[in-house]
Amino acid sequence: MDRALENISLIETLRYEPEQGFVRLRLHLARLERSARRLDFPKPSEAVAKLQEAVVGSAAPLRVRLTFDSRGRIEVTTAPFAPLAFDTVWTVRVARTRLDSNDKLLRVKTTRRGIYEAARAEYSAEQADEVILLNERGDVCEGTITSVFLDDGSGILRTPPIACGLIAGVLRTELICQRKARVGRISRDDLANAQLFVGNSLRGLIAAKIVNP
C-alpha cells in the first residue's frame, strides 16, 4: 500500500429515516467496497453492523457519517438531519481552485478534502450555498459536497464523466442507473444556458442558480 494512503480514510455520508432505514444503503456499501479495493484497504465487512448499531432507538432523521481506514477501523457518527424545503434553490458559484483530472484519488471519497475546502473558502455562506470546481481543461467536475447535473432540454439530466476528475456520487449513480441522467461533458458556458441542479445522497436533487458562470 502507498504510505500516503495510511493517513486517509474513506467516507460515506448517509441519511437515516426511521420508517425507511438507510437511504440508498446498497449503493453506499457498493461504493465503499469498490473504493476499498481500489486503495488496497481491507474489506469493510463490519460496515452494516456498525451503521445499525449507531442508529438504534433513533426516532428522527439522522445524518450518518462512516469512515473506514487502511487498518480496517470503522467509525460512525450521527447528527440530527433536517431536509431542505421542496422549493429550495441554492445559489452556486464557480471556484478559481482547479481539480487535476489525472489525480486518480479524486475519484474516491476520502478525508483528503483540502482542495474542496479551499474552493469552499473562496466564498462566504452568504455568497454561495455551494461552489463548483472545474478541472485543468475547464470542464465542470463537481461541487464541494455535491454532484452536478444539467437539464439541457433532452429530458435526461447530464452529469460530468468520472474521467474529468470527480467522485462517483451515490445519487449520481442512482440517477444514471434509473436512466434519469446520462454522462456527458459540461463546459463552464453550459452552466448559464440550461437549468442547473446539484445534489447528493443526503439531500437529494437541489435546483440551483449560477451566479458567475
Domain with CATH 3.30.470.10 in the chain: 3-80
Counting beta carbons within 10 angstroms of the beta carbon of residue 61, is it exposed (0 to 12), middle (13 to 18) or buried (19 or more)?
middle
If you write DSSP's letter for every residue of 122-185 in order, what string do you get?
TS-TTT-SEEEEEETTSBEEEESSSEEEEE-SSSSEEE--GGGT----HHHHHHHHTTSEEE--
* Whole-number pLDDT of residue 45: 95
The CATH H-level (homologous superfamily) assignment of domain 89-210 is: D-amino Acid Aminotransferase, subunit A, domain 2 (3.20.10.10)
**pLDDT of res. 213:** 58
65 pLDDT exceeds 90? yes
CATH class in words for 3-80? alpha beta
Contact of 11 with 51, CB cutoff 8 Å: no
At which residue does the C-alpha cell 452552466 appear?
A: 191
β-partners of residue 207 are 89, 197
Q: Find out whether 173 and 149 touch, Cβ atoms under 8 Å.
A: no
Choose between 100 and 153: higher pLDDT: 100
Average pLDDT, the chain: 95
Helix axes 170-177, 25-38, angle to 10 degrees: 110
pLDDT band at 5 (very low <50, low <70, confident <90, very high): confident
List, by residue range, all CATH 3.20.10.10 domains of the chain: 89-210
Give the model confidence (pLDDT) of 72-127 as tens digits.
999 999 999 999 999 999 999 999 999 999 999 999 999 999 999 999 999 999 99
| Cell 458559484, located at residue | 93
Question: In terms of Cα–Cα distance, which of 209, 211, 206 is closest to 88?
Answer: 206
